[in-house]
Structure 1
């Protein structure tokens, strides 16, 4: 079967040179070239709408394509059409550019001036990769037939109360029980799930912000598959990119995640932004983590009142989780429940930071000892929330999730925008 190759070249002379060489390649079927980034994305979208089999195996992007810069264009193509292999043609064959191109999702780089041997070799390898990806994905990979998954948000009454540790271990417990689980870091400016789990990543939630048709293929290409089996969708390494994730983008993202995973745990951090507010609004369960001290409990009360004023979520639909609990503390869970007006998790997490310190410092939170009282409590909490399969026999077995989901998940966002002057 011939390899279909779509050139994306803005320069007239470069078009002539590239198409001439492509036409000489064995078993190659060069398609009519496109001359800018918009034409390329539109052409691929039109072909993929018919069938993934209609997409070319290889796209060759010239460095002088425009108006979108070549690396940004490659990133978009790799995210939206993950079965298409992209080759960058460039006059800069430095290791720095090669690394940047690979990080953007390119499958190869060819240096200018063009060489037949180099171009032929690179096209052959990328075409083989594309064929393998399509074979792995199979037909109908865009269809998810399971019921909608459970979405749980984890927010903090203030910074430092253990929000991320809670989110990570809830997700680990769900995944370990056999449920397909995603952990999302929606603490967009300061999120650090990646550090807790010792991962290096290329793509983040910000890369999905501009995509409204987030198919399972697009989503799968954006997540990082951790050794534990968790699918991680991480906060951007550059905090300013978090501004790209609007409440509308978050709504699309939560919908896509819910349709793909049985359990979705979202770390929203302690600062309320548009994306986090949307996630809390749409969640089946919204957790608010606090410690049993005056400052944190006041923060929890403020957060609950803010969510209520903005029509994001009612107090009785929120569950407070008490972290660093001690029987000797003056502030106990029943008092916190009365102050906040929320539900309260029956499972409390003990004050045992020394158990966590070495795992946190090493970035290996997932390797926390099974005997850890903190881990046992958080996994029990996962059972209380209904996130683990009862057959697994965790300590959490038999607990039932309290509370209820949102009755009308679209109204809050509209009211919120009106209150903020957004119409």
Structure 2
């Protein structure tokens, strides 16, 4: 049997050493080395979308790979692509690292400088394990498969700018258009998603904090299925329990959600900690909400600079959304774009709290009327961010869109084109 091997190593000398030795292994088919964690996940996702049989049997991960640390990368590969055997390559084959690698999902560990015998043994063992898992997957095992969905985080420049309301409406828009959607509350001390959607549920994100391997069944037990069809992963009712959620658990939770849903909207609140920083780093799109006033825009600039210093998100990779926008204010989107260095969304959300008050007071944002200009703007924003699935036009109604989400998007676009 031919063993397909994908080395993941960024250092030139280490890559040369690994590929040279791999080429000498019997029945081995090594691919060209992948230089970073992002490329690895994208490559595996593309192959998995074709067929599980297209995935390599073995992935070799060098300890100095980035930007995601090696052990976190191993954990994500093990969760998202369970049919791939991962082997860690390290200069420190200590018992502590071996234990940590196994806990992360690795199938073996080899030390550098590389030994032919050790490398062959670890690769063969990982490949045999991979073949067994694929045989098991063919019988319908309870594991995650597939390339995964889109993760979008919503953060506020400061408190009171409408972060949770926006996250809720983005998720509702995605779900209404036919996307399988989850909404996660990472505002761990003061999350309000349950209050906005009239939910009482005893489980929360904290129930997943100590679980090493989150299977679909475990995730299903922690997620509340809302009457709208949204999957809700709520913040804990006791704010102090938010401290149980750390960077490691968030990475695992977000990866599990990504592989279960087409769209995952994460409300990160306004306070930065290691938990929501990990979510922002993992997100495909990061939204930063601000209002058009000096205090909020300055806070947005501070937040963007903080993310850059923490190396979790660059300014140009952030989408700033202007809430409570009026044409009469001196601070307009182009100025906000220059101040923050971010890309400001084309869709702005108008200042019209009267439309929202009844739904907010009732705690039922899902009942917000379709004619609301605020809802139309937020659902139009969902379309701009790529969260809304646009149905194919039918022969009888060319150019027509089905669903409330699309009608809202059309109104926004028409309004802006005048």
Matching residue of 2:185: 185
Task: Give the Cα–Cα distance (whole angstroms) in 1 for the partners of residues 370 and 410 of structure 2.
Answer: 16
- CA apart distance, 1:397: 6.4
Is the counterpart of residue 247 in structure 1 residue 251 in structure 2? no
Number of residues of Structure 1 aligned to a counterpart in Structure 2: 262
Q: Give unmatched runs, 5+ long, in structure 2.
A: 1-138, 392-400, 414-418
- CA apart distance, 1:399: 11
Alignment of 1:105-254 (within 5 A): 140=140, 142-254=142-254
- CA apart distance, 1:298: 0.5
Matching residue of 2:256: 256
Tell which structure's C-alpha radius of gyration is larger.
1
Q: Is the 8 A contact 2:380 2:409 kept in 1?
A: yes
Matching residue of 2:351: 351
Matching residue of 1:288: 288
Is the counterpart of residue 396 in structure 1 residue 409 in structure 2? yes
- CA apart distance, 1:144: 3.8
- CA apart distance, 1:390: 1.1
Matching residue of 1:365: 365
Q: Is the 8 A contact 2:377 2:412 kept in 1?
A: no
Structure 2 CA distance for partners of 1:295 and 1:388, relative to 1, 3 Å: same
SS in 1 for 2:355: helix
RMSD: 1.7
SS in 2 for 1:220: helix
Q: Give unmatched runs, 5+ long, in structure 1.
A: 1-138, 401-423
TM-score (norm 1): 0.60
Matching residue of 1:68: none
Cα offsets for 1:56-102 (capped at 9, x unmatched): xxxxxxxxxxxxxxxxxxxxxxxxxxxxxxxxxxxxxxxxxxxxxxx
SS in 1 for 2:151: strand
Structure 2 CA distance for partners of 1:288 and 1:372, relative to 1, 3 Å: same
Task: Give the Cα–Cα distance (whole angstroms) in 1 for the partners of residues 262 and 293 of structure 2.
Answer: 35
- CA apart distance, 1:241: 0.5
TM-score (norm 2): 0.61
Structure 2 CA distance for partners of 1:309 and 1:399, relative to 1, 3 Å: farther
- CA apart distance, 1:147: 2.7
Matching residue of 1:121: none
SS in 2 for 1:182: strand
Q: Is the 8 A contact 1:223 1:232 kept in 2?
A: yes
- CA apart distance, 1:142: 1.9
Q: Is the 8 A contact 1:384 1:399 kept in 2?
A: no
Matching residue of 1:340: 340
- CA apart distance, 1:330: 0.7
